[in-house]
Amino acid sequence: MRIRKSRVYLWILVSSVLVGTFATSCVNSNQTSTKISSSLQMEITLKKDQLAEPTPERLSQMQSMGMSTGNLGIQKIYIYLSQQLTAGQADELRALGVTVYPDSWIPPVGNHPAGFILADMPVGNLDALAAKDYIVMLDTAEKLLQPQSDLPKGS
């Protein structure tokens, strides 16, 4: 009986520590993780895994998903903003290795409170980029689009 109580107390102690650690990490990373789309997070993870340990299967999976596999260290993204980047903000992004394409800026329209701009970023800088307070959201721009037609080939 005494052994069971000790195990229960030990389990409660370990559970409390784990839950506390998890909750703290969620609070610290929640602000940036909510800015990152799940598609972007998945693509970054696949690229990092492929860079660390290349496999033909993963590369094929990435290609079948429409991802660009030419330079795995770079990710094409949409940066959503409530207003166009200032010169200072553009400098901050450049310091992170982000290449912004200013001519691609689409301002907020109608019921959409954020505009967006196209950029390339190093795959390792996702969290640093998401931590910028002027960034509303980050999403992937990696999809290689194919024409959608119901006409048979050759028609």
22-38: burial string, b at 16+ Cβ within 10 Å, e else: eeeeeeeeeebeebbbe
Note whether 108 and 117 are within 8 A (CB).
no
Is 146 a residue whose pLDDT tops 80? no
pTM across the whole model: 0.73
- Report the CATH number that the domain containing residue 45 is assigned in CATH: 3.30.70
The proportion of the chain whose per-residue pLDDT surpasses 70, expressed as a percent, equals: 72
45 within domain boundaries: yes
Q: Is the per-residue pLDDT at 115 higher than 70? A: yes
Read off the pLDDT of residues 94-110 as tens digits, 9 standing for 90 and up: 999 999 999 999 999 99
Distance, CA of 38 to CA of 152 (rounded, Å): 34
Q: pLDDT: is 145 or 39 the higher one? A: 39
Residue 129: which domain range?
29-140
